[in-house]
Amino acid sequence: MSAVGTIAYEAGEHAVLLLHGLSSSPLELRFLARALYREHFTVVAPVLDGYSAGMQEQRMEAWLASAVREFDALKAKYASVSICGLSIGAALSAALAAERPAAQALILLSVTLDYDGWAIPWYRFLLGWAYFTPLRHRWRYREDEPYGLRNEALRAKIARAMQKHDFSEVGPSTISLPALHEASRLAIKVRHQLPSITTDCLIIHAIDDETSSPLNARYVDAHIGASFLRTIYLDDSYHIITSDNEREIVAREIVMFLRESEATRNAGNGSIPPVVSKALARRLRRIAALGS
């Protein structure tokens, strides 16, 4: 399987710019793109220079510049433009929102400011040092199970694809050290920018995310400057929540939030408390009962 090009569906006057994960492709956002299109949103999931699979790798400033160009092209054509990103694409979306505060809404899916999930190898902390050695051009991080997926049938399908090809519908089989280094630089930038980002913001994160723990979502929730803010935690997915067991929930919550953002524009409704899935609510009640 090879990486795919830009996904684009034209519908209403509210456009949504979808940004995929690091060294991946719009393919991992295909389900969400189709779901938004069915709800009459115009959707564009682009291939970004220096960031997407198959492109010559560049510094994170080039990633952001490419994302800015995509946003500006949509803003020139449509009444409203929202930004949605997955994983490192969520961090890139936040940086874009800081550059373009005219965005209608900002949606952060499995936001990754730190690779601190339970499946991240112990040597991860050494990679920052390795970047400044000859390993920089030779070593690549290899993706392994669970490939961001709790769904076992889909995980088996992805495992077969990873064995045969360099790419799958949930991302690449390997990621270069320079790409990971630039992702870390982007995360540092976003941490500093969060207080200045006032765009309506929806955060969706799996509590069992194996790549970026919920601490990432909590950090953004605590530091972002948005007054219209909602955080949703899922309990039946791993990192790639746009493809995993709760992908329908993710799509539905995004549609609802986008419509609420439109309806409450300039209304000043203020902060909204965190929202949890029904399954997670049941788990939290059981934990509370055991504790008492």
d(CA 279, CA 236): 8
C-alpha distance across the termini of the chain, in Å: 51
Cα-Cα-Cα-Cα dihedral sign, residues 210, 237, 148, 104: negative
- Look up 184 and say whether it is catalytic: no
d(CA 223, CA 165): 40
d(CA 32, CA 50): 24
- Look up 87 and say whether it is catalytic: yes
Q: Which candidate in 205, 239, 243, 261 is catalytic?
A: 239
Distance of CA 4 to the CA centre of its chain: 18
Which of the 8 DSSP states describes residue 11?
-
Q: Which candidate in 87, 184, 212, 243 is catalytic?
A: 87
Q: Which candidate in 200, 209, 235, 236 is catalytic?
A: 209
Output the six-digit token pair for 234. 């899922």
- Look up 223 and say whether it is catalytic: no
Q: Which residues are catalytic?
A: 87, 209, 239
